[in-house]
Amino acid sequence: MGRLTKEPELRYTTGNNTAVASFTLAVNRRFAQEGQPKADFINVVAWSKTAEFVGKYFTKGIQVAIVGRIQTRTWDDNEGKKHYVTEVVAEEAYFADSKRSGETGGGSPAPRTYSENPPSSGDGFYPIDEDDELPF
């Protein structure tokens, strides 16, 4: 849960042209004390459909909720120095902000949410069966 520190960046992979969105979330600490940081700045990456959703509807300052997993990456700068990056890969992205509401004007209304990974078969549907009571 946090606010975008700036506009998200939307790019496409060179290989198969997959959409990638990246942005940073300012996540306010719940019990920040005097003289301590008041927020964490979490880097988030989203892929394909989620990336496009982000690129289209997320803007600087709005509050969003992200569900995802932590990942790390390495990249080399111009001087050949290795950098380590820890970021969250978004599996679900939600609006969680009231600033968007009351919004008017052109354009189709933004869907409120996006997530990847349709569940594997069987998931979410319980087998109807005679001896299916499962009062384990």
Partner DNA sequence: TTTT
**92 lines the binding site for its own copies (CB under 8 A):** yes
Residues counted in the chain: 136
Residue 3 binds: one of its own copies, DNA, none (C-beta under 5 to 8 A by kind): DNA
Q: What residues numbered 10-29 form the site for its own copies, per CB under 8 A? A: 11-16, 18, 20, 22-24, 27, 29
**73 lines the binding site for its own copies (CB under 8 A):** yes
Find the binder of its own copies among 105, 106, 107, 129 (CB under 8 A). Answer: 129
Q: How many residues form the binding site for its own copies (CB under 8 A)?
A: 75
Contacts of 117 (CB under 8 A, 6+ apart): 91
**32 lines the binding site for its own copies (CB under 8 A):** yes
**60 lines the binding site for its own copies (CB under 8 A):** no
**88 lines the binding site for DNA (CB under 7 A):** no
Contacts of 104 (CB under 8 A, 6+ apart): none
**124 lines the binding site for its own copies (CB under 8 A):** yes
3-21: string of b/e by CB count within 10 Å (b at 16+)?
A: bbbeebebeeeeeeeebbb
Rounded Cα distance, 1 and 130, in Å: 43
Find the binder of its own copies among 10, 58, 88, 106 (CB under 8 A). Answer: 88
Bridge partners for 41 per DSSP = 26
